[in-house]
Amino acid sequence: MRYETLDYTDSDHIALVTLNRPEKLNALNDVLRDELHEVCCAIQANDEIRAAVFTGAGRGFCSGADLTPASTGSAAPVGQNDRLDDIGWVGRLATDIYKIGIPTIAAVNGVAAGAGMSLALACDLRVGCEASRFKTVFAERGLSPDSGMSFFLPRIVGYSRAADLVFTSRNVDADESYRLALLDRLVDSKDLLESALQLAQQMASLPPMAIRSGKRVLQLNQDIEFEHALRNEIFGLSFARKSPQDQKEQRASFLEKQKPIFTGN
User: What band does 40 get if pLDDT is binned at 50, 70 and 90?
Assistant: very high
* CA distance linking residue 57 with residue 132, whole number of Å: 13
Average pLDDT over residues 189-207: 97
* pLDDT at residue 265, rounded to an integer: 64
Q: Is the pLDDT of residue 248 over 70?
A: no
Average pLDDT over residues 197-216: 95
Which alpha helices (DSSP H) does the chain contain, by range?
A: 30-45, 80-83, 88-98, 115-122, 149-157, 159-168, 174-180, 192-204, 208-220, 226-240, 244-256
Give per-residue pLDDT as tens, 48-60: 999 999 999 999 9
Average pLDDT over residues 177-187: 98
Q: 94 near 120, Cβ under 8 Å?
A: no
User: What band does 9 get if pLDDT is binned at 50, 70 and 90?
Assistant: very high
User: What band does 74 get if pLDDT is binned at 50, 70 and 90?
Assistant: low
Average pLDDT over residues 202-210: 94
**Torsion region of 191: left, alpha or beta (phi above 0 gives left; psi -120 to 50 gives alpha):** alpha
* CA distance linking residue 179 with residue 156, whole number of Å: 12
Give per-residue pLDDT as tens, 237-247: 877 776 777 77
Average pLDDT over residues 179-186: 98
Average pLDDT over residues 6-29: 97
Q: 128 near 43, Cβ under 8 Å?
A: no
Rg (C-alpha) for the chain, rounded Å, is: 19
Average pLDDT across the chain, whole number: 91
* pLDDT at residue 67, rounded to an integer: 85
Length of the chain: 265
Q: 263 near 242, Cβ under 8 Å?
A: no
Q: 71 near 29, Cβ under 8 Å?
A: no
Q: Is the pLDDT of residue 75 over 70?
A: no
User: What band does 256 get if pLDDT is binned at 50, 70 and 90?
Assistant: low
Q: Is the pLDDT of residue 219 over 60?
A: yes
User: What band does 118 get if pLDDT is binned at 50, 70 and 90?
Assistant: very high
CATH architecture of 6-204: Alpha-Beta Complex (3.90)
Domain boundaries, the chain: 6-204, 208-256
Name the DSSP letter for residue 65.
B
Name the DSSP letter for residue 70.
P
* CA distance linking residue 142 with residue 3, whole number of Å: 33
Provide the pairing of β-strand 51-56 with 14-19: parallel
